[in-house]
Structure 1
Amino acid sequence: MYQVLVLNPNSSQKVTENLRDTVSAPNTVELSFYTAPPEAPKEITGEETSRQSEKVVLDDLKDKKLNYDGILVCCYSDHPLVRSLAKLVDCPVMGIMQATLLYALSNGTIRRSFVLTSVSEWLPLLDKAIEGFVGAESFPSGKFQRTRALDVNVTNLSDPEQFAKIEKKVSGFLDEYKDDSIDCVLLGCAGMAGLDKKLAERFPLQFIDSVKIGVDFLTGLMQFKARE
């Protein structure tokens, strides 16, 4: 049985509990969940809060035995914890953003996708992160359209009363992109866990839950490492 740590680098227990309630794993994988200590930001809104959360989490974990086969960092960004944790452990470490981008690039049925994030502060950062991930000097518009924001805080994304606003926003974005061959939306926040099914019931395209696809890609990396 593979042991995976699903790591929430913010201090919101609400986000972690939503992950626990909505994310499943293959039969060969057992999930454990971690929430950053209270000193960490309650939500991560950019580079400064990312660095703050990295420091708090590393200070908390550095003296603990991390007996896991894989670690999934559940902040949708180029979060520095992905690299810093990889230096501490002898197991695959993956970020949920990277998992969704791998999915969009490797799935031959997807023509074009865009990232749906929580708040507008993320828009330039995520577009830049996409460029960096694919190794491009400009935005890779052949495979992606620009990131869009719901303007809903991460801690509120799973609230049922927010869904009407989310649905209306998504409808508007899809209307704007109606001529852009969009057939996949990458849910760009761990707080959106569980929204994939709800949105797919209302719109005729794929909605990719970043934590679910992250668990699946991480499982593949763990299996590959075990065969080395």
Structure 2
Amino acid sequence: SIRILLLNPNSSRSMTKSMESAANSIATLSPSVSISTYTAPEPSPASIDNAEGIHASVQAVINDPDFKSRLQSEAYDAVLVACFSVHPLVKHLANALKPVPVTGIFEASILTGLSLVPLVEEEQQKWGIVTTGAFWEAHLANGVAAFLGQAPSPASTTGSSSSSDGRFAGVFSTGLNAGDFHTISQEQVNVRLREATKRLLSAGNVTCVVMGCGGMGGLQDMIRAIVVQEYGQDKARDVAIVDGVQAGVLQLQHAVLSRRLF
């Protein structure tokens, strides 16, 4: 069996429940995988929307005695940090819990995006990220560059990629925050999401759209409909839409099995 801890570093239990549902959709395909969840206590914000929110969430988790006792009493095989950001908890827990595999939904999505976009001689296929607020455009673009071992570009601009990897189309934001996806009207979500997705799809031959927020779980069908509108039914069939939580569970399952095998 493989026991994965899904760690939500914000304090929204409803978001944890939504991400748990996404994780369990993968776990049902692999009966050996079981998902446990943890939600950070306040003062971690209910929605992490900037650098201050990231910092507050780190402090809330590492200073939570309940979290420490759970790590000591439960034998988790892997930990998934479920915040789509360059989140310090990923490195912190990887060091504290080694050799237990730890990844974040951001890191898992990068690897998944790259695996779904082949290197080809013809028109290069691309992957990109649709996310929430404008803060995340530079944060995530620079994060992709750093993850790929590249120096971030100081000239990174809205919707552009700061990575020299030709397969990365960039980061495009809706202007919403994570909590908005479950609180404002569906029509407002549709309008903002359509605009951001259209900008991504116009950035090249995009064949993989990564949903760049844990709170976007369940929006695959909406994004798929936008892709069909922009690309047509035939081309849209070849476009993958990646949920970071699902990608993270798959990556950790692979990591645990690899450690056991090799």
> Structure 1-normalised TM-score?
0.91
CA RMSD of aligned residues (A): 2.0
* 1:222 matched to 2:219: no
Match for 1:226: what amino acid? R
**Unaligned 5+ residue runs, structure 2?**
120-124, 154-161, 228-235
- Aligned with 1:89 (options 94, 97, 113): 97
Q: Is the 8 A contact 1:46 1:125 kept in 2?
A: no
1:1-228, aligned counterparts within 5 Å?
Answer: 1-23=1-23, 24=25, 25=27, 26-60=30-64, 61-64=67-70, 65=72, 66-90=74-98, 91-109=100-118, 111-137=125-151, 138=153, 139-140=162-163, 142-158=166-182, 161-162=185-186, 164-176=187-199, 177-178=201-202, 180-203=204-227, 204=236, 205-228=239-262
Q: Is the 8 A contact 1:158 1:193 kept in 2?
A: no
Give aligned pairs, total.
227
Residues of 2 paired with 1:63 and 1:170: CA distance? 40
Structure 1 residue 28: deviation in Å?
Answer: 1.3
Residues of 1 paired with 2:197 and 2:214: CA distance? 21
Structure 1 residue 165: deviation in Å?
Answer: 3.1
Residues of 2 paired with 1:172 and 1:197: CA distance? 16
Match for 2:78: what amino acid? G
Call closer, same or farther: CA 1:158–1:206 in 2, change over 3 Å: farther
Residues of 1 paired with 2:106 and 2:39: CA distance? 18
Structure 1 residue 58: deviation in Å?
Answer: 1.2
Structure 1 residue 160: deviation in Å?
Answer: 8.0
Q: Secondary structure at the match of 2:129?
A: strand
**Unaligned 5+ residue runs, structure 1?**
none
Bigger Rg, which one? 2
